[in-house]
Structures are given as structure tokens and as C-alpha cells.
Amino acid sequence: MTTDNKPDTLQKFMFDAAPVRGELVELSSAWQQILARRDYPPAVQNVLGEMLAAAALLSANLKFDGSLVMQIHGDGPVRLLVVECDSQLNLRAMAKIRDGESIHDGTPLKQLVNLHGQGRFVITLDPKEKVPGQQPYQGIVPLDGDSVAVVIENYMLRSEQLDTKLWLAADQHISRGLLLQKLPKEGGVAVQMETSEHLDAWDRAVALGSTLSQKELLSTDIHTLLHRLFWEETIRAFDPGHPHFHCGCNREKVGGMLKMLGREEVEEALVDLELLEINCDFCGQQYAFDKVDCAQLFASESTVDNVQTPSNVKH
């Protein structure tokens, strides 16, 4: 592999002569760390890896400090896929497969997660610092498309009114993706006219991207891809970013989760168990809570709720 010693990379670029922006992402180390913790069937690996690349590509556009969470709630053998990327390009991901399901190699997305048409695709934008009472923004749509890329393209067009094209590929070694997006028209008086030249430029960029096969995407590093695809265009490349695996779980958050379950449920579980052991689904870290820990959780409830929100929160 040519990518073994290189850091994972997210490369943003702009077309000089067209209102089109692009990004390429290459995830090797982060993807390996995610896979090292779980033994997913290859078909699930492919979908999760493609979602991971997509989350990194979309999060590069976040206009706030926080996370982008992408979920597929499946009605087939795969129950749940979750990928998360924050503004610092910290990535984590996990999949949950229904008990007793065996998944063949090459099983298509629809059969994995949308067997009965009940699958859902959810994007959550979760700012780190929320104003009091603020809920994270969440968009939920049916799983409209035969690939992760098409599902997201449809979502972006419908929910964000953004023309977006994605090419994604992942195997057990690497996850790569290309994003092209037509820049929205500027508002105000000096409206940029959508000239036929600009429309041509978008169509041309998409046509160039469409020459990319999954095989080529899996086997070619992103700098070579950028040159190979767009060598006839004048491209401005920005300083690359470096995504990495990081799980932000901690004891406090797991405690918060237990509190949400409610005192009654937790006490009931502790009747049969000496210790509640909770494993983080993303990184495998184990957290144990005994009776005393749990009693403390609920005893401290009132004081925690009274904590003032920081005064520097922007409205």
C-alpha cells in the first residue's frame, strides 16, 4: 500500500473559473483503528467506510464548532450504522447487526438496511456549545438511493438545496471519497448570474468525476486522483486537513446515559447485577457502575441541573 505511512488527508480545492468546490478524502489509519475493534462482514465494512468518508467530506463545511453525525437506521440485517466527524476532524464509527444474521459479501445497500422500505437516513448537526434549550438540528429522510453516495446526494439536494455529487469507496484497507458541490448563488444586489458557462463548468466537473471507477478510487492516492481527474482545469488546492480516529466517550457521558434511563430502570438492573458494565460501541472502552456509583448519579441530579450555562454562548 502506498498510503501506510502517510497521515489521513482531507484536501479541499476550488475551480478557478467555475463556482464549484471539491474535496478529496483518504482514510487509512483512522479506518484501520475503527475496524480493529470490530469484526464486520465485508459488505458492512464497505457501507460503513463509505459513510465515514462522506462524513469527513461533509463536516469540512461545518460552520460551527461541533459534530456531524450520520446514521442509517436499517430494517434489514443491519440495524444501525453511525459515523461521526467533528470540526477538528475527529472520526468515529460503528455498526450494529441484528442477532443471528449472516451477511454475504456484496450484499447491496437496499438489502442490508432497507429490506422493507422502512430504513431511515438521519443527519444530525450538533454544536458543541448550545444556547439554553437548543436542540441539535436533525434531518430524517427515507433511504432514497441504491448507494450511500446517492442517498446523501438526494438528501443534500432536498434538505440543503445544494447540488452535490459524491464518489465513495471503501474496503478493509482504505476509505476514499470525492465530493463536488455547486456553490450556491450569492444573495443581494450583485447577484452572480448563472451563466451558461458556469452551468457548463459544473456539468464538466461532474462528468470528469464520473470517469472515476470504484476500483480506481480504492487504488489511487488522492493527490494522483486530483491531478488525473482535473488536470485540464485550473484548480486552487487549500492546505490539507488530517482526520483521525478519536472517541469522545467518558464516564460522565455514560453516567448521563444511565440517568436518562431513569432511576427505576437502573435500580431494577442492579437487583440482578452487582455491577453495571457498559462498553462504548465506538471504541470498546468499558465503564462500570456499582450501586454506590448509581446512587450518586441520581443524588447529584438536582445540582447538575442547576449548573449555569456559560455566558459566552453566542446567540
Q: Hey, what's the cell of 193?
A: 448570474
- We find the least distance from the C-beta atom of residue 66 to Zn ion, in angstroms, to be 18
- Residue 241 one-letter amino acid: G
- Minimum Å gap between C-beta 73 and Zn ion is 21
Binding region for Zn ion (CB under 5 A): 247, 249, 280, 282-283, 285
Q: Which C-beta is closer to Zn ion: that of 286 or that of 308?
A: 286
Strand order in the sheet with 137-142: 137-142, 120-127, 66-73, 78-86, 90-97, 244-245
Least CB distance to Zn ion at residue 283 (A): 3
18 close to 198: Cβ distance less than 8 angstroms: yes
Residue 250 CB, shortest distance to Zn ion, in Å, is 8
DSSP element (H, E) containing 52: helix 42-59
Q: Measuring CA to CA, which residue among 306, 24, 55, 52 is closest to residue 171? A: 52
Task: Give residue for cell 450520520.
Answer: 70
- The amino acid present at 238, given as its one-letter code, is F
Q: How far is the CB of 246 from Zn ion (least distance, A)?
A: 9
200 three-class SS? helix
